[in-house]
Amino acid sequence: MADQTLIRKQTTVEPATKPERTSWEEWRGEVTALTRRWFLQLVRERLNLLLSITQPAIWLLFFGSALGRAIDRDAIGTSNYVGFMLAGVIAFTVVTNTVTGAMPLLWDKETGYLDKLLSMPIARSSLIVSRFLFQFALGTAQVLLVFLVAVATAVDVASGPVGAIVILAAAGLLSMALTALSTALAYRVPSHGTFFAIMGFVTLPLVFLSNAFVPLDSMPPWMAIVARLNPLTYAIEAMRILVLDGWDGSVVRALAVLGLFAVASLAVGAYEFRRHTGERVR
């Protein structure tokens, strides 16, 4: 019974002469199923779930209260240290997520589970899109919580509710770009050892050679130049200005740079993924 309906549907949707394609409905079903797999794994690990979601909020409180007193208010240009830190903590969170977020893809690849998935009639893109959706949802939950904590403690978002949404979008954009890059790396490397070696090498400089915790103006000139080349700086800049100062032309400029970075990263990610699955048939 069941297979008859299935077969009839397939033959009407795609006669054998037409190039093979996944229908929109099928694609949505695939992405839903794969995303469900990621979420089930997360919710079964309670501690992982709890720490993942609350970590940025805890960091903000810790930095805000403990370090706040030790920081020179003039150097950061505001008396609101928590407000200053908010953008940095969000960016730091996104970076951490991208490292841990590529791990399941690495396991799937190394254990051979990816092969099993690739032998099924699914669009290659479903694999990546499901991971992006998962990362995006997790990231949004984290950022929302850290935002609520910030607002509850000391911070007034200068750009108002619309600004808050733009901040969320900027975090999402950054997350997408970095996830694309770490995904590309995960498919590229011969094994997870290399992946973690490269990630360990890159992440700290990425965060500390940006304006995450120190404003560009307080940096030695060489450092400020390096930080200007760091895409993280633009994401943080946009978010920080929206929190502290409200709407401003430089926000648009920073967001534009961030957008370009995201597009380039997605292209690299798509290329690497196709290359890796290309050793197989198409």
Buried b (16+ CB within 10 A) or exposed e, 136-175: bebbeebbebbbebbeeebbebbbeeebbebbbebbbbbb
Distance of closest approach, residue 26 Cβ to another protein, in angstroms: 5
Percent helix, strand, coil in the chain, to 5, is 80, 0, 20
267 is an interface residue for another protein by CB under 8 A:
no
x-marked contacts with another protein along 117-156 as a string, rule CB under 8 A: xxxxxx----------------------------------
On the 0-12 / 13-18 / 19+ scale of CB atoms within 10 A, 4 is exposed
x-marked contacts with another protein along 24-63 as a string, rule CB under 8 A: --x--xx-xxx-xx--xx--xx------------------
Q: How many residues make contact with another protein (CB under 8 A)?
A: 41
User: Which stretch, 8-16, 62-70, 80-88, 166-174, contacts another protein (CB under 8 A)?
Assistant: 8-16
Distance of closest approach, residue 147 Cβ to another protein, in angstroms: 30
242 to each of 32, 56, 121, how far by Cα in Å? 34, 19, 45
Q: Which is nearer to another protein, 193 or 220 (CB)?
A: 193
Among positions 73, 274, 275, 280, the unique one binding another protein when judged by CB under 8 A: 280
How far is Cα 201 from Cα 56, in angstroms, rounded to an integer?
22
Other Cβ atoms closer than 10 A to 24: 8
Distance of closest approach, residue 201 Cβ to another protein, in angstroms: 26
282 is an interface residue for another protein by CB under 8 A:
yes
